[in-house]
Homo-oligomer: A and B are copies of this chain.
């Protein structure tokens, strides 16, 4: 199957033009003319994912490999090391990032994983909770398998929750709930949330997005290509 046909299918289920201005979703490596038999799905690209992928295949990942445009292709950075390996194995690479967050990922995690019932607005999913903070936090920990629970507690009782998978703290000013669930929360962002009266539970960047391959797998199941889920590993170990 021509890569162009797969690209067009992806563009239909999650239009690339929905991506944010700073994002770089789309075909980043390879050619629309390539003949693809195998498609690998992964949250992120890492060395193991590439090693396990066949030559001439296609990898679809959540995060773009290239953000800052390249003035050379020397293996001194994260992206160029992997980029060179992709090109040498003639593996094509498509990123489905902020467009996919908006059309699929947020809603899936909120509803299928966390069992919430609400609505999705752009990057933010909002739902009612009506539970004590501690009880709800334990529930989140269990459903996402979080080893270490990192929270900012402002209210003892949570009426409504907002959720953004990945690293969503820049959206804090748009959060209208008692509690915000997102990953990669930094110290000053936590201070800010506290002053604004918003509680936080850090649901992990990896932990809240590791479902990417599963969701994408379901979408591609009728396509005439072999689809392999080949998730990257969480770089963090907690103990």
Binding site for B on A (CB under 8 A): 24, 26-32, 44, 46-47, 63, 66, 68-75, 77-78, 81-84, 87-88, 90, 147-153, 167, 183-184, 186-188, 190-196, 204-206, 235-239
Contact = CB atoms under 8 A, between A and B. Distances in A.
Contact of A148 (B26, B184, B193, B238): B238
A236 B190 contact: yes
A196 B152 contact: no
Copies in the complex: 6
A151 B184 contact: no
A217 to B, nearest CB: 22
A151 B239 CA distance: 8
A151 B195 contact: no
Contact of A87 (B88, B149, B194): B88
Given A46-B195, A69-B70, A78-B192, 19 more contacts: A27-B74, A28-B72, A30-B74, A31-B74, A32-B74, A46-B194, A47-B195, A66-B71, A70-B70, A73-B83, A77-B192, A78-B195, A88-B90, A167-B186, A183-B187, A186-B186, A187-B204, A187-B205, A187-B236
Contact of A196 (B26, B32, B74, B78): B78
Nearest to A63: B188
Contacts of A32: 74
Contacts of A68: 69
A44 B167 CA distance: 24
Contacts of A205: 186-188
B195 A237 contact: no
Contact of A71 (B24, B47, B63, B75): B24
A32 to B, nearest CB: 8
